Amino acid sequence: MGSHTFKGGVHIPNPYPVEKSEIKQVPPPEQVVLLLQQRVGGEAKPCVELGDRVLTGQVIAQTTGQFPINVHASISGIISAIEKRPIPHPSEIDAMCIVIDSDGKDEWIEIEKCDKDFLNCSAEKIIQRIREAGIVGMGGAGFPTHAKITNAQGAHTLIINATECEPGIMCDDSLMQEYPREIIRGIEVLMHACGAKKVIVAIEDDKQEALNSLLMYSFNDRISIEKIPAKYTSGAEKLLIKALLNLEIPSGEYASDHGILCQNVGTVKAIYDAVIDNKPLISRIVTVTGSAVKYPQNYEARLGTSFAQVVECSESNNQKHDIRMGGMMMGVNIPSAQHSICKITNCIFVNNKEPDLVVKECIRCSSCAPVCPANLLPQQLYWHAKSENIEKALEYNLMDCIECGCCNYVCPSNIPLTEYFSFAKALDRKLKREEIRIDRSRERFEFREFRLERNKKERAEMMAAKKIALKEKMAKDKEKDQAQKDKIAQAMARIKKTKEDNA
């Protein structure tokens, strides 16, 4: 077994722990707004029309392409809009959404009774059910789960990521305490689907209750539940693999290349629901926390429920708030709470508005280097990113930065380092695109030059050939003329001779 840790990272205590770990149910809302834009596979195409009545669990849109993902109605009701709405992102950019007005009945589609013994199903059948249920990585990455399992066929080890990906988020912790039986069963389904012989469930050592409840239901000796130190960024896939197996996945390669499949514990629960209960993904667990809420709590809410409705349950105070989607390290601040929960919304932070931190100059103290889990030199990177010297930044492994924010956290000068890094990455992409564009237009230009030149040459050759042909023809004509003349002369001579003979 490995050292159960990795270099770098920071221990950050949860600033707002919950009193009770139970998951509160948020009642199905009056209206849901379901985002059609998917993380992978682009925008889902609606397969319902305005005014249609839909039932809970009904497929209302689907992406096409390599990894098709279904979008399901999360309540029953009438489709009241299919239009562009601002998405939960700092830019509030618009994207297509389907809006359903509830009929208050929450009437489900008919769920076929399915074979409870999944071992009778083939792996393909299970993967198909996962795909049809619209399951994506619930930890926040949102990659289609069926595609990930397909890519990792024949994996030797299955790792269940039960570390909370960021401090402050508690949804996986409560999920494990509430649904341990379902999670263990879901793990067995996954083992069957990918063929893994060994499973490691990685739990942070500050989640003893969750660990205990999983242990109560885990009788499968191929599943080992292991504690890892509670340290931020241990939820990052490659770092988790390093901690558990002491295996460093090389930059640019995937875990599946090394026979390892990683799945988030929330995804495992969704897989259980899809394969055993045949229910699609229409709800998820969301943590609501932050300095402005009275009761930090985990909620199970239907997808498409507005943030405001969930936050209301936690009794936020009446001051001005900063709303943040995702964790306190990597989440994004969004302008308002009028957005809706999607498949990857694991946490909503509601913080009292605070004055911005004063940013000072970098004093090159290098506090950022030892905490960097990617083992980079953030202060050197910052220097090059700030001066937009992308080439140099790339030399300092800019692209290996996972933007976890550990460096921001420890910086005594409050420098938002990762913002500079993501900016530099974007700049690099732009430059690369520009380069490709320039290359293309140069190629086009050069080809045009070549084509014109070739045409000219061809024409010249053609002309020359014609000229020669003409000359030859003229020469031939001349010969012919001569021959004719000769013939005439001969004939004349013959006539003359005949005349002379006659005479």
Partner 1 sequence: MHSTGLNTNQIMRQVIYALILGVSAAYVFFGWGVIIQILLGAISAIVFESAFVALRGRKVIDSISDGSAVLTGILLAISIPAIAPWWIVVVGVAFAIIFGKQLYGGLGNNPFNPAMLGYAFLLISYPLQMTTWPVDFLSFNQAVEVIFQLLHFDGLSGATRLDDVKTSLSLGRELTTLQIHSSAQAWINAGFLIGGVYLLARKIISWHIPVAFLSGILIMAVLISMFDSQQHLPIQNHLMLGGTMLAAFFIATDPISASTTPKGRLIYGFLIGILVVVIRSFGGYPDGIAFAILLLNMTVPLIDYYTQPKAFGKS
* CB closer to partner 1, 253 vs 391: 253
Near partner 1 in 57-86, by CB under 8 A: none
* CB closer to partner 1, 126 vs 249: 249
Residue 152: strand, helix, or coil: coil
User: What is the DSSP annotation of 157-178?
Assistant: EEEEE-S-SSTT--HHHHHHHH
- Cα–Cα distances (Å) from 475 to 247, 481, 485, in that order, read 86, 10, 15
Contact map string, positions 233 to 262, toward partner 1, x by CB under 8 A: -----xx--x-----xxxxxx---------
- Select from 396, 404, 420, 425 the one that contacts partner 1 (CB under 8 A): 396
C-alpha–C-alpha distance, residues 357 and 355, integer Å: 6
* Rounded least distance, CB 371 to partner 1, Å: 9
CA 114 to chain centre: 31
Q: How many residues bind partner 1 (CB under 8 A)?
A: 45
* CB closer to partner 1, 332 vs 452: 332
* Rounded least distance, CB 256 to partner 1, Å: 15
* CB closer to partner 1, 6 vs 307: 6
C-alpha–C-alpha distance, residues 265 and 205, integer Å: 16
Tell me the H-state helices in 305-356.
Answer: 307-313
Cβ burial of 117 (10 Å; 0-12, 13-18, 19+) is exposed
421 is an interface residue for partner 1 by CB under 8 A? no
* CB closer to partner 1, 10 vs 69: 10
What's the distance, Cα to Cα, between the start and end of the chain in Å? 133
46 is an interface residue for partner 1 by CB under 8 A? no
E strand residue ranges, 205-242: 223-228
C-alpha–C-alpha distance, residues 127 and 120, integer Å: 14
Q: For strands 45-46 and 59-62, give the pairing.
A: antiparallel
* CB closer to partner 1, 195 vs 229: 229
393 is an interface residue for partner 1 by CB under 8 A? no
* CB closer to partner 1, 202 vs 374: 374
- Select from 299, 409, 420, 421 the one that contacts partner 1 (CB under 8 A): 409
* Rounded least distance, CB 364 to partner 1, Å: 5
* CB closer to partner 1, 12 vs 81: 12
**Within 10 Å of residue 65's Cβ, how many Cβ atoms?**
10
Cβ atoms of 243 and 5 closer than 8 Å: yes
Residue 93: strand, helix, or coil: coil
Near partner 1 in 356-375, by CB under 8 A: 357-358, 360-367, 369-370, 373-375
123 is an interface residue for partner 1 by CB under 8 A? no
- Select from 376, 390, 404, 417 the one that contacts partner 1 (CB under 8 A): 376
Cβ burial of 229 (10 Å; 0-12, 13-18, 19+) is middle
* Rounded least distance, CB 385 to partner 1, Å: 15
* CB closer to partner 1, 366 vs 484: 366
C-alpha–C-alpha distance, residues 54 and 48, integer Å: 8
Which residues of the chain form contacts with partner 1 (CB under 8 A)? 6-7, 10, 12, 238-239, 242, 248-253, 328-329, 357-358, 360-367, 369-370, 373-377, 379-380, 396-397, 400, 405, 408-414
